[in-house]
């Protein structure tokens, strides 16, 4: 068997973070499953464990795709002008440069698996955002810009 010169295999147990440093961001606990450092920037994977309805503002990633899979609960996910109603097992791709947002629509715990490709600085964004004492819109917009994103609208409405 030829020698392996890529990243080392990394096992991350269920409900844990790759570095045992879960991040809190806009109603979710974010568990890094595959770090930017693990893939030389090629991708980053987060397990987002949510506890209530709602989600982030409509935003754009200028340099990366975001693939979202619902693991538990139900979500509305807007990509461009289309809104998808997703349940466990469903997924959607938000291409780079296309505005998107999601909102948990189910009560109780819910969960999303998100893959960012290439990783860019999304991991640093979530780390910096989770360190904010208050996650104000202005702070999030400033951090988003610093990490190749742009807030372009409000969060999706959840009735």
pLDDT digits over 122-152, tens only? 999 999 999 998 889 999 999 999 999 999 9
Q: What is the pTM of this model?
A: 0.92
From 53, 52, 46, 12, select the one nearest 31 (Cα to Cα).
46
pLDDT digits (tens, 9 = 90+) for 37-54: 999 999 999 999 999 999
Q: How far apart are CA 84 and CA 91, in angstroms?
A: 9
Q: Are 129 and 140 in contact (CB under 8 A)?
A: yes
Q: How far apart are CA 76 and CA 30, in angstroms?
A: 19
pLDDT at residue 135, rounded to an integer: 85
pLDDT at residue 87 is higher than 80: yes
pLDDT at residue 1, rounded to an integer: 63
pLDDT at residue 134, rounded to an integer: 86
pLDDT at residue 61 is higher than 90: yes
pLDDT at residue 11, rounded to an integer: 93
What tokens appear for 78 in the block? 């807007």
Q: What's the whole-number mean pLDDT along residues 72-91?
A: 98
């Amino acid at each position: 068997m030829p020698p392996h010169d890529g990243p080392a295999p990394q096992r991350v147990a269920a409900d844990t973070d790759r570095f045992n440093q879960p991040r809190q961001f806009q109603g979710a606990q974010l568990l890094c499953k595959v770090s930017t450092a693990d893939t030389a920037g090629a991708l980053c994977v987060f397990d987002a464990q949510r506890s209530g309805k709602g989600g982030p503002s409509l935003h754009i990633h200028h340099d990366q795709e975001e693939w979202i899979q619902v693991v538990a609960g139900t979500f509305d996910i807007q990509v461009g002008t289309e809104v998808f109603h997703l349940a466990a097992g469903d997924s959607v791709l938000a291409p780079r440069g296309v505005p998107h947002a999601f909102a948990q629509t189910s009560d109780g715990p819910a969960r999303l698996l998100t893959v960012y490709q290439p990783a860019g600085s999304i991991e640093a964004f979530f780390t910096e955002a989770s360190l904010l004492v208050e996650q104000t819109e202005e702070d999030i917009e400033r951090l988003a810009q610093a990490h190749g994103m742009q807030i372009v609208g409000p969060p999706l409405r959840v009735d």
